[in-house]
Amino acid sequence: MVTEVIKAKELQKLDPVFGQLSFDNHEQIVFCNDKDTGLKAIIGIHNTVLGPSLGGTRMWQYNSEWDALNDVLRLSRGMTFKSAITGVNLGGGKAVIIGDAKTQKTPELMLRFGEFVHSLGGKYITAEDVGMTTSDMDLVRTVTPYVTGISEEKGGAGNPSPITAYGVFMGMKAAAKYKFGTDDLENKVVYVQGIGNVGEALVEHLSDEGAKVYISDINQERLEEVRDKYHATIYTGNNLYSEDMDIYAPCALGATVNDHTIGQLKAKVIAGAANNQLADEQKHGRLLREQGIVYAPDFLINAGGIINVYAELENYGKQEIMRKTENIFNTTLEILTNAETNDVTTHKAALDIAQSRINSRRKEN
């Protein structure tokens, strides 16, 4: 009996790789381990129909390796649809490194990670994400050409965060126009949750437009810095979701729109930079629609970063980067209108367009 229980537990541990919900017919999952540097990383390659998979590397202290796997699966899938809907010829990939970026990231670890990326022969191209910097990408570039987001001094497009934030701002303005009849955000109450590089740049745009910006983050020092720079208000309550606001902008980790928060939300628009904001895409997308909350699909409006790094592969300049990023406004408005016309969630409307492009390319091949 004890032996049977042990076997059952062993089988249970084996199941989640292919069996968990986040697995969506991913083409390849690569587990990277190096004892000397302490590297433990996972590379997820979701789809390469449109081109090589591209997505940033995130370094995070996950609670478990299963959490890390789930994150890389969800993120790489999101990158597939982000590239498809943006019109770039890239597939979806992502990487996560398990560890604390502040205390465990070393040059040796990053170089070893770069070697793992190189071993894939270009099927996966990495870039900057949470816990990473442009200088990290410069370092990885010394061992593999399959990296974007390198510094402008080394011929790259630089830090993608400002462009990502600008795309989110464009998507937010489009959602505001759809909901309120105007894209003018002056005096609109906006709660920005997560003040990393993208969150801060978004706060700057909102402040310049005259919005009433409230900011939230686990880093108090960071909050005070951003407050002082842009005259934002630090949120000091204990339940941000229940506050009266016009726009909720999640810019930290995903799944903040979930069973617990969705009934409390008083926002009229959700438009932020975080990936995978809906814990359950179908269920929570439908509930938002029923509550009359306009949701600007995350993988659409946070696509400025992919536009920025794609410039390195296609050799187009800042002017074209900005033009493509500004077009997120038009695409968002089109998708929100299509969702209403076809009586579907905004997430599904966006997903259908992205999937259609992938399907068309697959038929061509």
Strand pairing category for 124-128 and 233-234: unpaired
Three-state DSSP class for residue 210: coil
Dist CA 178 CA 183 (whole Å): 8
Dist CA 308 CA 322 (whole Å): 9
Ramachandran angles phi, psi of 192, nearest 5°:
-105, 115
Dist CA 258 CA 32 (whole Å): 31
DSSP state of 186: T
Report residue 217 as tokens. 């983050």
Dist CA 40 CA 109 (whole Å): 9
Q: Are 83 and 55 in contact (CB under 8 A)?
A: no
Ramachandran angles phi, psi of 84, nearest 5°:
-65, -45
Name residue 66's amino acid: W
Core vs surface per residue 102-125: b (16+ CB within 10 A) or e: eebbeeebbbbbbebbbebeebbb
Tens of pLDDT along the chain (365 residues)?
A: 444 433 444 444 556 567 766 888 999 999 999 999 999 999 999 999 999 999 999 999 999 998 999 999 999 999 999 999 999 999 999 999 999 999 999 999 999 999 999 999 999 999 999 899 999 999 999 999 999 999 989 888 888 899 999 999 999 999 999 999 999 999 999 999 999 999 999 999 999 999 999 999 999 999 999 999 999 999 999 999 999 999 999 999 889 999 999 999 999 999 999 999 999 999 999 999 999 999 999 999 999 999 998 988 888 888 999 999 999 999 999 999 999 999 999 999 999 999 999 999 988 87
Amino acid 16: pLDDT: 59
- DSSP H helical ranges for the chain: 2-14, 16-19, 65-86, 107-119, 134-141, 161-180, 197-209, 220-230, 281-290, 298-301, 304-314, 318-326, 328-342, 346-364
Among residues 358, 181, 198, 187, the alpha carbon closest in space to that of 271 is found at 198
DSSP track, 49-94: SSSSEEEEEEEE--SSHHHHHHHHHHHHHHHHHHHHHHT-S-EEEE
DSSP track, 273-331: S-SS-BSSHHHHHHHHHHTT-EE--HHHHTTHHHHHHHHHHHT--HHHHHHHHHTHHHH
Q: Is 327 left (phi over 0), alpha (psi -120 to 50) or beta?
A: alpha
Q: Are 258 and 279 in contact (CB under 8 A)?
A: yes
CA distances (Å), origin 281, targets 2, 191, 255, 256, 348: 40, 22, 10, 12, 8
Amino acid 160: pLDDT: 87
Among residues 240, 244, 247, 209, the alpha carbon closest in space to that of 223 is found at 240
Amino acid 15: pLDDT: 60
Catalytic residues: 94
Residues paired with residue 95 on neighbouring β-strands, in sequence order = 43, 57
Report residue 140 as tokens. 């990885």
Amino acid 156: pLDDT: 85
